[in-house]
Structure 1
C-alpha cells in the first residue's frame, strides 16, 4: 500500500478542522441526548435524526482526515505515487457524498423541533416546505455526484492513463448545479433562522425573554454563514489541480455541517442549565417513579431568597397574621402526567396552545396553594 502524504499546509488545515468540528459536535449531541433522555424524558424523532446526522458527520470527518493524509490539499506535483493520488480522489468523492446527507438530516431535525412551536397553518407549511426542499436538493446533488462519471470509479481512475475508458459530466454543468444547491441551502437556513423570531414574537413573555428565546432558536441557521463563505470558492471545481484548489470547499463543507449539528443541539440544552442551577431531579423521573401518585410541584424554578420567602403565606396576604393561629394552608395536588413533553419535540413547549395533555384526557398536574382565615368561636 502506498505511504501517506505529510500533513502540512492545506492538508493539515483540513485534518485539524475535521477533528475540532467532530469533537464539538459529539459533545453537544451527547449533552442533547442526556437532556432528552434523563432530564426531560422525551426522546423524539428530531433527536433521533440529530444523532443520525452526528453519525454521518463522524464518518465524513474520518474520510476527510484519512483523505488529508492521503493527499487532499496537496498539488499534483507532490504526488510520487499514482495509487495514492487515486485514493485521495476517492476519499474526496466519499466525503462529498456524506456531507450532503449529514447536512440535510441536521436541517430536518431542526425543522421538526421548530414544528412544536407552530400554531398557524402557514408556519407549519413553511417548515414542511423547508424539509421537502432540503431533501430534494440534497437528493438532486447526490445523484449528480453519483452519476457524474460513468462508470462511477472513473472519477478517481481517470488519473491513470492505463485505466479503462469512461466519461464525466461537463464541469460547467457541475458548477451550475453546485451554485443552485448552495443558493437553495442558504434560503433554507435563513428560513430556519427567521421563522423562530416570528413564532416567539407573539408569545406572552417579556421583551428580554423573547429576544433570548428567539436568538437561541435561531442558532439553527448559523450554518448558512459557512455556505455563504464557501460560495466564492465553488469555481475551483473546474481547476485542473483539483485536490489542491478545492481545499476551501472541503473545509467550509465540514464547518457548515458541524455548525448545523452544534447549533441544532444547543437549542435543546435550556433544561440542562436549569437542572444544573436548581439541582433538581429530572421532570420525567419523578413522574415515572411515582406512577399515578399525588405529587406536589413548585411553580418556580430558581431558589432565590425572594422565592423562598414567597412560601410564607403572609408574603401573598399581608393582611393575615401568621402567628394568630387562625391561618390554614390548604394544598391541593393533582397527579403529574407522564407525557410532560411532546414525543416529537426537542425542547419544552413554549406555546400554551401546544401544551401536552396527560393520559386519561387530564391536563398536566400542578400544585395550588391558598390561604384563608378560619373563624374559631369562643365558648
Structure 2
C-alpha cells in the first residue's frame, strides 16, 4: 500500500500563491472582478468611440470633441485605477503594503470617473442641439439651459463627493455624512439623465414626420435608461459599504457598479450616432431616414428623365389645360433644393456642415 505523503503536497485551490494568476480570487483578494469590469469597460468604450470617429470624421463637432475628452478622461481614470489595483485595491488591509497610497489612487480615480461621466452627458446635449436646433431660438435656449444645468450638477457632484474627505485616509475612516453625500450625487445624476431622456422626445415630437420615425429617434436616446439603473445600484452598494469597516476589500462591489456606470455612460452617448455604421453593414433599421448618413447632401440641380407621352399629357392637362399637342415633345427640368436629414450643407446654410434632422424640399419645374 502506497504512502499518501509520497504523492506530493496538496494544493489548496483557494491559495493565491498557487500558480501565476493575473488576477487571483480568494477569500482575502477580490480584485479579479475589478480587473475584469475595468478592462472590459475600457475596451468597449474605446471601440465604440473609434466607430463614432469613423462615422463623424467629415462632420466632427463639439459633441464629438466632448465625448473624446470624456473617453480620454476615462482612460486616465483606468490607468490610475489599475495602479490602485496593483497596490492592493480589492484585498484585505493586511495584504496591502501601503494603504494610504492605495486610498489616494482610488480617490483620484473616483473624481476622474465623475468628470468623464458628466462630459458624456454634455456631449449628448450638444448632439441634440446640433440635430434639432437650427434657427429656432426657443429650442436653442432650452438646450443651453439644460447644458448649463448639467455643468453645474457635474461641478457640484465632484465637490460633494470629495470636499472634506481625506484622500489618503479613505480606507481607514468613512467620509463624514457619506450616505447623504452620495444620495445627493445620485439624485443629481438621475435628474440629468431624466432630462436627457425627455429632451429628445420633446424636440422630435415637434417635427413633421411619421410617428413611427419619431419613436425610433427617441428609442436611440433611451439606452441611457441603464445609466439610471446602474447609478441606483451603485448608491445601494455605497450605502452598504458605509455600514462596514472602510477597507480596499469591502469596497469592491461599490467600485464594480461605478466602473459599469462609467462605461455605459460613455457608450450610450454614442449609440444615436451608429445608424450610418449599421447601414454600411447592410443592417436594416426599418428604412427610416432619421439618422446620420455618410453621404453629403446639399443644394443641387438635377435633370430628370423625359416624361413618357401619357405622363406628359396628364401633367400638362393638370397644370395648364390649354397646351397644344406639339408641346408634348418638350422635356422638363426640375431643380431640387433640399435640406436633407442627416448631415452636410443645407438650404440656406451657407455651406455649413452642421447636421440637422429636418427635411425641406423646394421643387421648381421649368419647361425647356
The residue aligned with 1:291 is none
Counterpart mapping for 1:355-374 below 5 A: none
Structure 1: unaligned runs, 5 residues or longer:
160-167, 288-293, 299-309, 356-365, 375-379
Residue aligning to 2:4: none
Measured after TM superposition, the shift of residue 200 of structure 1 is 1.6
Look up the match of 2:147: 131
Specify which of 245, 251, 260 is matched with residue 255 of structure 1.
Answer: 260
**Structure-2 change in CA distance of 1:318 and 1:22 (3 Å):** farther
Correspondence for 1:86 = 100
Q: 2: distance between equivalents of 1:131 and 1:240? A: 39
1:74–1:244 Cα contact (<8 Å) kept: yes
SS in 1 for 2:269: helix
| 8 Å CA contact 1:75, 1:241 repeated in 2 | no
Query: Measured at CA, do residues 23 and 318 of structure 1 come closer, stay the same or move farther in structure 2, by a change above 3 Å?
Result: farther
Once the two structures are superposed, what CA deviation does each residue of 1:297-338 show, in whole Å capped at 9, x if it has no partner?
Answer: 79xxxxxxxxxxx978459938679xx993624254779999
8 Å contact kept, 1:21–1:254? yes
Note closer, same or farther for the CA distance 1:339–1:210 as it changes in structure 2 (3 Å cut). Answer: closer
Task: Give the match for residue 272 of structure 1.
Answer: 277
The alignment status of 1:351 with 2:358, answered yes or no, reads yes
2:333 matched to 1:330? yes
Which residues in structure 2 correspond to 1:117-128 (within 5 Å)? 117-118=132-133, 123-128=139-144
Rounded Cα–Cα distance in structure 2 between residues aligned with 1:262 and 1:247: 23
Are the structure 2 counterparts of residues 334 and 190 from structure 1 closer, same or farther at C-alpha, using a change threshold of 3 Å? closer
Shift in alpha-carbon separation, 1:245–1:260, aligned structure 2, 3 A? same
Report whether the alignment pairs 1:55 with 2:72: yes
Equivalent of 1:68, from 82, 85, 101?
85
- Alpha-carbon separation, structure 2, partners of 1:260 and 1:346: 27
Verify the 8 A CA contact 1:329 1:369 in the aligned structure 2: no
CA contact (8 A) 2:52 2:273 kept: yes
Q: Is the 8 A contact 1:179 1:234 kept in 2?
A: no
Partner of 2:333: helix, strand, or coil?
A: strand
Distance 2:224 2:335 in 1: 41
1:95 aligns with 2:148: no
Query: Is the counterpart of residue 231 in structure 1 residue 227 in structure 2?
Result: no
Higher relative contact order (CA 8 A, sep 6+): 1
Counterpart Cα distance in 2 of 1:143 and 1:320: 72
Q: Is the 8 A contact 1:193 1:217 kept in 2?
A: yes
Provide Cα deviations, 1:89-132, integer angstroms capped at 9, x if missing partner.
22211110111100111111111111231477665555434433
Pair 1:31 & 2:51 matched: yes
Partner of 2:221, secondary structure, is: helix
Deviates further, 253-262 or 64-73:
64-73
Of Structure 1 and Structure 2, the greater helix share is in 1
1:148 is aligned to 2:164:
yes
Which SS does the other structure have where 1:115 is aligned? helix
CA distance in 1, matches of 2:92, 2:302: 65
Structure 1 CA distance, aligned partners of 2:225 and 2:33? 25
Q: Is the contact between residue 330 and residue 371 of structure 1 (CA under 8 Å) also seen in structure 2?
A: yes
Tell me the TM-score normalised to structure 1 length: 0.69
1:88 deviates by 2.4
SS of 2:56 mapped into structure 1: helix
- TM-score, scaled to structure 2: 0.71
Instruction: Name the SS for the 1:317 alignment partner.
Output: helix
Unaligned runs of 5+ in 2: 1-20, 284-292, 316-325
- Structure 1 contact 21–255 (Cα < 8 Å) conserved: yes
What is the aligned partner in structure 1 of residue 40 from structure 2? 20
Write the distance in 2 (CA, Å) between the matches of 1:316 and 1:185.
64
